[in-house]
């Protein structure tokens, strides 16, 4: 729980830091206050609303691929996680930073045992390629090729 609180406080301080540019008025901090209220409500929903809602939703959908690696319930759970991720990210983007929403969306499914497995299985290949692109766009292009392949670099 200490790491969780640390992450939440870091995200709040990150938003405060970016809100401090320009003039300071009450409207400067209004999105942050709304974001903190949304975060508190989403934490309660993650514990009290999402677990029974997911159970209810999955009970209404028949399992047609029970022996498959990715079952129908896994597909529905992944779709629900993705929709919640986009919705929470959009809401908190209006409140300061989309990172709050991404964090809260992940937290909303933490009580569901197979949620991490389903998410990791579905986004594994995309994540692998995005990491390669991110590395190429940040670190790899920052290397000066003329100095890397110079005589001084080898000797």
pLDDT at 51: 92
Average pLDDT over residues 38-44: 90
pLDDT at 1: 63
At 119, the pLDDT band (50, 70, 90 cuts) reads confident
- The Cα–Cα gap between 146 and 24 comes to 47
Cβ contact 73:10 at 8 Å = no
């Amino acid at each position: 729980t200490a790491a969780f609180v640390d992450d939440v406080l870091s995200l709040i301080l990150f938003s405060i830091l970016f809100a401090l540019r320009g003039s300071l008025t009450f409207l400067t901090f209004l999105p942050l206050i709304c974001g903190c209220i949304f975060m508190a409500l989403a934490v309660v929903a993650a514990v009290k609303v999402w677990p029974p809602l997911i159970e209810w939703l999955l009970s209404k959908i028949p399992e047609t691929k029970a022996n498959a690696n990715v079952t129908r319930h896994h597909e529905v759970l992944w779709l629900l996680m993705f929709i919640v991720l986009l919705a929470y990210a959009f809401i908190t983007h209006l409140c300061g930073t989309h990172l709050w929403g991404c964090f809260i969306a992940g937290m909303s499914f933490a009580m569901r045992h197979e949620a991490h497995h389903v998410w990791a299985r579905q986004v594994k290949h995309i994540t692998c390629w995005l990491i390669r692109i991110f590395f190429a766009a940040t670190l790899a292009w920052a290397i000066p090729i003329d100095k890397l392949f110079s005589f001084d670099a080898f000797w």
